[in-house]
Amino acid sequence: MEKRGPDYIKIFSDIILKKFPEKASACRHFLEKEKLSSLDVITLNRILFNDCSIKNEHKSYDQESVIQILEHQKKNKMTDTEIATLFRLSRNTLSGWKKLLSRDLKKTNIKTHTEFI
């Protein structure tokens, strides 16, 4: 059975329609997707609520989002400090992700996404 979660597209569409119609054009790209990643949800929250002061303790990232963040770091030749500041993460979180991803790849012998490890 498929794992089902919240319908973030519907949730954000309703929020934009009722509270932030002026931000609809900035969010259109995300709402046209079939499924939102956790990184997309966090980005929409930033656009709508300017949540600069919100703490990261309740944020979670799926593996796809972690890989996107690490690929962004590699592509733009950013340090751990720079990428942590950009995505409002701790450097320890980044190093933990790299260790976990490295361990998972070694177990499964998958050769993809090793360029950032």
- The tens-digit pLDDT sequence of the chain (117 residues) is 566 778 889 999 999 999 999 999 999 999 999 888 888 888 888 888 875 555 556 677 888 888 888 988 999 999 999 999 888 888 998 999 999 888 776 666 545 554 444
CB distance 10 to 34 below 8 Å:
no
Tell whether 45 and 17 lie within a shared domain.
yes
Give the pLDDT confidence score for residue 109 in this predicted structure.
Answer: 53
For residue 116, is it within any domain?
no
Residues 62-87 as b/e (b if ≥16 CB within 10 A, e otherwise) read eeebbbbbbeebeeeeeebeebbeeb
For residue 54, is it within any domain?
no
Q: Which residue range(s) make up the domain with 83?
A: 63-108
For residue 117, is it within any domain?
no
For residue 18, is it within any domain?
yes
CB distance 3 to 28 below 8 Å:
no
Give the pLDDT confidence score for residue 86 in this predicted structure.
Answer: 86
pTM > 0.95: no
Q: Is 85 helix (H, G, I), strand (E, B) or coil?
A: helix
Tell whether 36 and 14 lie within a shared domain.
yes
Nearest partner of 86 among 100, 69, 74, 101, judged by Cα: 69
Tell whether 17 and 45 lie within a shared domain.
yes
Number of domains observed in the structure of the chain: 2
